[in-house]
Amino acid sequence: MNKEPTDNKPVFTISQLAEQLDISTPTIRFYEQKGLLSPARTPGNQRVYTRKDRARLRLILRGKRFGFSLDEIAEMIGMANMDMDEKDQIEKTMAFGVQKLEEIRIRKEELLLLEKEILAIGQRLQKKLNELQGGK
């Protein structure tokens, strides 16, 4: 099945794609169920994927790694709005990126505050422990 492809010829089975991208076949099926992938089918109903499908799956995985929801990923790759052209898709992706960066900045601030609080509590507890142990 893995022949030299043109962009739209089916060239990968689900197992081959899963192995190449180091994910499980149920994960790929899940993304298909969510409408993020639409593989072709053989007469025997076996899923077959093109290079474009593989590229789309890599975008989905990258989006998940960056913390985007599947709905956000669908919008970024143009699945939510099939009328979206490349310019719109880029603008939408950039907007999600800016939003994600702001979320990260806020989360970093929260984590720094949490770190300071934990260190302060640790110092107070250590002081109390030293007092209880007779100033050791």
Tell me what the pLDDT averaged over the chain comes to: 85
For 14-56, list the strands marked E by DSSP.
40-41, 47-49
- Tell me the per-residue pLDDT of 47-82, one tens digit each, with 9 for 90 and over: 899 988 998 899 899 889 888 889 888 888 776 555
What is the gyration radius of the CA atoms in the chain, in angstroms? 24
Tens-place pLDDT, residues 10-30: 689 999 999 999 999 999 999
Q: For the purposes of burial, counting CB atoms within 10 Å of the CB of 49, is it exposed (0-12), middle (13-18) or buried (19 or more)?
A: buried
DSSP state of 9: S
Burial class (CB in 10 A: 0-12, 13-18, 19+), 28: buried
Smallest CA-to-CA distance from 27 within 54, 61, 56, 59 is with: 61
| Residue 54 CA from chain centroid, whole number | 15
pLDDT at 102: 94
